[in-house]
Amino acid sequence: MSIKDTEKKLYDSSDSNVERRGHSESEFDLEKSNENKIHFVEKKSNWEEFHTNWLDNDKKTAIYLGAIILGIVIIFALGYIGITKFKQTAFSENKVSIIVEGPETADSARNTRYIIKYKNSNRVSLENVEINLNHSENFYPQENENIKIENDRNVKISLGKIKAFTSGEIEISGKFYAAENYMVYLQPTLKYKPQNFNSFFEATSQFGVRITSSPVELTIKTPQEALDESVVEYEISYENKEGVNLANLNLKLEYSEGLIFQNSMPTPISGNNIWYVGDLDVGARGNIKIKSKVDGQQYDVKLIKAIIYSNENGGEEIVYGKSEEVIKVVVPPLAIDLKVNGKNAVNINLGRSLNYKITYANRGNIGFKDVVIKLKIDSPVIDYTKIGLERGAYNSTTKDFTWKVSDLKHLSRLEPGDGGQIDLEIPLKEDLAIVNPEDKNYIIEALATIDSSDVAYHSLGNSKNITSAVLSKLNSKIIFENLINYEDNDIKNYGPVPAKHGEETTYAVNWKIKNVSNAVSDFKVYAVIPTWLKWKGVVFPQGEDITFNERTNEITWNIGNLENGVGFLSSPREIKFQLGVIPEANQNERDLRIKQEIKITGKDTFTNEDIEINKNYR
């Protein structure tokens, strides 16, 4: 039988005996069950039965009420969060600004107008608002009913309240006093309290102004060229050309290395580069003349910079004018160098000697014939009677020393690379005659020159000679006298003379001070006396600044400033004080001599030399 016939046989129900087969009755027989009215019911799980019994109507009501309450709480919470967030976003520091608008350049002493603009882009108002304008001391603002000047660096402007989404501006005018190209800064700060805050905030900015002119015209007159080892003289001139008086001014110079200060008129108040100008009213002018030695190589450029300024309480400089010039160094073929005591400049005491050394050489590439060397020196402090000169000659009319071929044979022709040295000792007087107030601040200038008949060097335009100069300043001489008297017109002494054991005898000590040539500052006299001497506290004249330290037995007399010529043009500075002694059994007459170890100190205001003199009186 084929497969198809087999399938037909199997699945053809019309010919099947299966349906005709009988079977036993069962409760699961659907036909029988229907006849007997039997019903099938779906059986529920234990969880479904528990859930049906637990979730009754009361519980459902409670759940519904809880859900409603929870919804209300959530709505209120979201509302609170929203309101808080709204308030927080109602203010932001970034939405508050302040700026300055106006010219970025300004002339000194010219009234200049600026606008301070402020803006509030927040949804809340700003309260207790004020503007603090910080500025350099060089800016002088104009005060009015809205603008209050707090100090030389700050202006205060009270605004009160700035409403939400509003802006405003304040006009401020003032004048700048600063050097040309100087930068001055204006820094406004807006201080405020937002309406929804209890704390203060600040907004700030900065505005720079470049100064295009100076209130003080400052000029430097100097030669464009200078020979190496020569001395140049330059003049610093200043004038107040603007509309305000200036007070307490100083002038400062900055030099390039190789410009060696020698002297000036007037003298500096500090170092070699600061001068006191003082008050400079409108239209007032002045000048300072300075001499410096030049030391450099061929075509070196030396810078001189002048600054006129004042010092504020904090020590900061307020600049009112600047100027600068340059000098080009030219090296000549013939070179000469002069030193005094091994230096370019020295301070010297009366009674000492100045040792000059002249060094010369041919730095060119050809020889020079008939070379002549001179040293010019003239000063009333030189003791010409004691000058010893082995070679060369001194001319009292021209005040110079000269060396020629007759003195130094190799000067007949100085070949390239050749040179030599001349030494000369110049003694100073022991004492000076001081007859008028101008007898002070003595300067000893020495100028060495070299020239040849083969060369005339015209670099400076006024001399064919090649020069080198040095400078010496004379320190003031202090003359101190220490006198001890029993008989004195101003102090009454008592006790036996000579002193006796067990009895006190007093003496008057008399100090006298003379000052020869320069003013001296911070002048003091110290003395240490033996323990057996007693300070009696009697001083003449009264009012002198003299003290006694009982623990150290030191006497200090503080004079302060001592003018030049004291003791010559006026009476000596003098003080008297009383000391007492009660001899002990172990002391003889020699032991009872009044011993003093004296130290004198001060500062020479002309040479800036510290003074210290020590004397022992036995």
- Per-residue pLDDT of 487-503, as tens digits, reads 999 999 999 988 888 88
* Edge-to-edge strands, sheet with 345-348: 345-348, 466-474, 443-451, 372-377, 400-403, 393-395
Question: Is residue 142 a contact partner of residue 173, using CB atoms and an 8 Å limit?
Answer: yes
**Distance between CA 271 and CA 287 in Å, rounded?**
18
Question: Which tens digits make up the pLDDT trace of 543-565?
Answer: 899 999 999 999 999 999 999 99
**Distance between CA 42 and CA 554 in Å, rounded?**
128
Question: Which tens digits make up the pLDDT trace of 20-67?
Answer: 555 555 555 545 545 555 454 555 555 555 555 555 666 667 777 777
Question: Is residue 410 a contact partner of residue 418, using CB atoms and an 8 Å limit?
Answer: yes
- pLDDT-based confidence at 462, cuts 50/70/90? very low
The two tokens of residue 23 are: 């079977």
In Å, how far are 18, 22, 33, 36, 208 from 28, measured between CA atoms? 19, 15, 7, 12, 107
Return the higher-pLDDT residue of 364 and 505: 505
Residues 6+ apart with CB under 8 A from 240: 215, 216, 246, 280, 281, 282, 283, 284, 285
pLDDT at 211 over 60: yes
ω into 223 cis (within 30 of 0): no
Question: Is residue 153 a contact partner of residue 135, using CB atoms and an 8 Å limit?
Answer: yes
The two tokens of residue 408 are: 């130094």
The residues spanned by each domain of the chain are 93-211, 216-330, 354-471, 478-617
pLDDT at 217 over 90: no
CA angle 500, 502, 503 (to 5 degrees): 60
Looking up tokens 């060696």 gives 260
pLDDT at position 72, please?
Answer: 82
The two tokens of residue 75 are: 């709505």
**Distance between CA 424 and CA 337 in Å, rounded?**
14
Residues 6+ apart with CB under 8 A from 584: 501, 532
Question: Which tens digits make up the pLDDT trace of 268-324?
Answer: 888 889 999 999 888 899 999 999 888 888 788 999 999 988 876 656 778 888 888
The two domains 354-471 and 478-617 share their CATH topology (first three levels equal) = yes
Question: Is residue 478 a contact partner of residue 511, using CB atoms and an 8 Å limit?
Answer: no
Question: Is residue 176 a contact partner of residue 209, using CB atoms and an 8 Å limit?
Answer: yes
**Distance between CA 478 and CA 475 in Å, rounded?**
9
pLDDT at position 142, please?
Answer: 86
The two tokens of residue 504 are: 């006190």
Which CATH superfamily, name and number, covers 478-617? Mu homology domain, subdomain B (2.60.40.1170)
The two tokens of residue 130 are: 């004020």
Provide the 8-state DSSP code for 460. Answer: T
Q: How many residues does the chain have?
A: 618
pLDDT at position 25, please?
Answer: 53
**Distance between CA 346 and CA 353 in Å, rounded?**
11
Looking up tokens 């005659």 gives 433
Identify which of 537, 560, 532, 559 has the alpha carbon closest to the alpha carbon of residue 548.
537
Return the higher-pLDDT residue of 422 and 366: 422
Looking up tokens 């200049």 gives 112
Mean pLDDT taken over the chain: 84
In Å, how far are 25, 342, 372, 534, 540 from 492, measured between CA atoms? 167, 55, 70, 16, 11
**Distance between CA 93 and CA 199 in Å, rounded?**
12
Question: Is residue 465 a contact partner of residue 515, using CB atoms and an 8 Å limit?
Answer: no
Q: What is the mean pLDDT of the segment spanning 346-359? A: 95
pLDDT at position 149, please?
Answer: 87
Identify which of 598, 579, 592, 608 has the alpha carbon closest to the alpha carbon of residue 475.
608
Q: What is the DSSP string of 425-451?
A: EEEB-S-----STTS-S-EEEEEEEEE
437: Cα separation from own chain's centroid: 37
Q: What is the mean pLDDT of the segment spanning 449-474? A: 70
The CATH number fitting domain 93-211, selected from 3.40.47.10, 2.130.10.10, 2.60.120.20, 2.60.40.740: 2.60.40.740
CA atoms within a 13 Å half-sphere pointing along the CA-CB vector of 327: 32
Q: What is the mean pLDDT of the segment spanning 113-123? A: 91
Identify which of 399, 404, 489 has the alpha carbon closest to the alpha carbon of residue 452.
404
Question: Is residue 203 a contact partner of residue 97, using CB atoms and an 8 Å limit?
Answer: yes
Identify which of 519, 528, 520 has the alpha carbon closest to the alpha carbon of residue 612.
520
Q: Which CATH code is given to the segment(s) 354-471?
A: 2.60.40.10
Topology of domain 216-330 in CATH is: Immunoglobulin-like (2.60.40)
Phi, psi of 202 (to 5 degrees): -135, 145
